[in-house]
Structure 1
Amino acid sequence: MIVTVTPNPALDISYRVEHVGIGASHRVRSVHERAGGKGLNVSRVLHDQGIATLATAPVGGALGDAVRDDLTAAGIEHSLLPVSGPTRRTIAVVADEGTPGEATLFNEPGSHLGEADWRRFRELVAARLDGASVLVCSGSLPPGCTVDSYAELVRDAHARAVLAVVDTAGPALLAAAEAGADVVKPNAAELRETTGHDDPLAGAQQLRERGAAAVVVSLGPDGMLTVTGEGVWRAAPPFAVSGNPTGAGDAAVAALAAGIERQEPWPARLRRAVAWSAAAAAAPVAGELDHRVFRDIADRIEVEHL
């Protein structure tokens, strides 16, 4: 079982319009809603691939109920903590006349998650770790959480012999690395923000020096860089994939968690992460893979040992 944590979930709402114009009125042609947030996307990908997963998150209000209902309808096992603060919305506006896959995004801030609620959520997650193999912590932390919140979950996982993967940025990423996270996965911009290094290799090595066992850096269309105690590898897709990059990083995290659970060697983990990431970029919404793209790309990814 791979347990995912989404401290700042959302109800993702997608509007499709003819075109987007500042100061103009827009007639919405279609509306699509689904449970969102990085960890929930990870669980959705894993579930789609037939890998056992449990999604955890704090939710509140009518939108929290909508998140719960969507996960139930999708058949994704979940354990959600009711809290007083309402779940946020993220709104994506996609124009028919725009670039394919391009969206204008509006991301609401999360509700304040107080110390008592975080303690209850941490206890919920810890209780679900018995029998789990991997814990995945993904996304931003809502107001009220501290930079050590993910680090606390990493230590809780290790106390139960569960491996921990963390996908976040900034001080929370540094704290998770210092707690000994087994894998941290920033993208290049997040790594630069966190470490101050423009060179991904130098930034990844800094996170390793801070305590992370392995660092995987997403490089967008250029693939991924992995720095571990066993070596350094780089992998890239054989061709560029057009589409919506939202959720590509979450698919990569899902692939890494699956590879860790299966105890695969790092080149195999990295190859799957690049393939799933590219297939997610080609899919219309986050949390899904374009299986045609996956079949076209999976066996053609080259992994270079640096």
Structure 2
Amino acid sequence: MIYTITLNPAIDRLLFLEKELTKRKTNRTSKVTYDIGGKGTHGSYAMTRLGVSNLALGFAGERNFAAFEEILMQKEISHRFIQIPKGLTRESIVVIEPDNQGSTMLTEPSFSVGEAEKQQLLLFLKKYLTEEDIVLIAGSLPENFQINDLAELIQAAKEKQAFVACDLSGEALLLAAQLGVDFIKPNEFELTELLSEKTGTVEEALEQLSREITCIAASKGEKGSICYYEGKQYQVLAPKVKEINDTGAGDCFVGAFLAEFSKCKDIKEALKTGSACAASKVQYEDSSYFDPKEADILKQQVKIIEL
């Protein structure tokens, strides 16, 4: 089983502008839609679309839980979220400009997680996790969920000998690396923070880090991405597509990668699947949707070069 943990999920409200966003002017929308928000939930959606069994875990606000759960059910995401009493799941506003000019995200503050809810999540992992499972911990930390709480969560999964994947940033990503999780996916900005204390070139620092972490899939912007796995390096070149909304593309990659990896443990196939699904995702309007059939075609265009 794959478990995804989204500690600070969101409801994405997508605003499609009629014209380019302009300051000091009324910007009118042509359409408004809603989608699930949060890295872990996006990962679960990708796994579900690929037919891989998974369960989405985490916290969600009690006050708008019905609206949050309705989107999960529409996406057919199996879930077991712990409700935060009197809490409100944050809403993220995604502003999408016409003619593929990119998107802008604005997000609300999170709810505050109590000790009882923290313990409830920990007890679930301790009860159900096995060494055959994969755990994906992804996204930002909500209010009152401290770095030591994250450490306790990661340690609980490691004690069960599950494969621990983390898609985090900042201090949380540094912690995951220090604890020696099995998988991380830093982007080029997070990579700079992660390697700031290491010496030598980026490649040398990454190679050093790969001795502590089983798999690192690092994005290098327009240069594609590079993966370090079991002492080997792979350059990943994704197919060129027409981009409409890149929100959630990295989350889609992680979910699809882990879905394929859980089935075959073939790193090249997992990288191809993740890259192809992400390439499909950016061609659609919402934050999570991609077409598995289209991804199968794009998969043939993904180039994996062993360095």
Please report the TM-score for the alignment, with normalisation by the length of structure 1. Answer: 0.89
Q: Deviations over 1:48-107 (max 9, x none)?
A: 111111111211143332111211233211001011331111001223xx3326222211
Residue correspondences, number:
303
**How do residues 4-153 of structure 1 correspond to structure 2 at under 5 angstroms?**
4-19=4-19, 20-84=21-85, 85-95=87-97, 98-100=98-100, 102-130=102-130, 133-153=133-153
Distance change in 2, residues 1:127/1:23 (3 Å)? farther
Q: For residues 199 and 138 of structure 1, what CA distance do their matches in structure 2 show?
A: 28
Trace 1:195-214 onto structure 2 (pairs within 5 A).
195-196=195-196, 200-209=202-211, 211-214=212-215
Structure 1 unaligned segments of length 5 or more: list them: none
- Provide the TM-score with structure 2 as the length reference: 0.89
Cα displacement string for residues 261-289 of structure 1 (whole angstroms, at most 9, x for unaligned residues) = 12422222222222122112222222221
Which 5+ residue runs of structure 2 have no aligned equivalent?
Answer: none
Q: Distance in 2 between matches of 1:17 and 1:213?
A: 43
Which has the larger displacement, 3-12 or 108-117?
A: 108-117
Moved more, 228-237 or 26-35: 26-35
Question: Cα distance 1:203–1:282, how it changes in 2: closer, same or farther (>3 A)?
Answer: farther
| Alpha-carbon displacement from aligned partner over 1:218-248 (angstroms, at most 9, x marks no partner) | 2344322111233111110243542322111
Quote the Cα distance in structure 2 between the aligned partners of 1:275 and 1:200.
26
* Identity level (%): 26
For residues 284 and 206 of structure 1, the distance between their equivalents in structure 2, rounded to whole angstroms, comes to 39
CA pair 213-295 structure 1, distance change in 2 beyond 3 A:
closer
Q: 1:137 to 1:87 in 2, by over 3 A?
A: same
- Cα pair distance change 1:10/1:217, threshold 3 Å: same
1:289 correspondence with 2:290 = yes
Compute the RMSD of aligned alpha carbons: 2.4
Instruction: Please state how far the C-alpha of 1:32 moved relative to its aligned partner.
Output: 1.0
- Report what 1:193 is aligned to: 193
CA distance in 1, matches of 2:154, 2:264: 19
SS in 1 for 2:161: coil
Change (3 A) 1:45 1:183: same
Paired residue secondary structure (2:300) = helix
How far apart are the structure 1 equivalents of 2:70 and 2:241? 36
**In the alignment, residue 274 of structure 2 is paired with which amino acid?**
A
Matched with 1:248 is 249
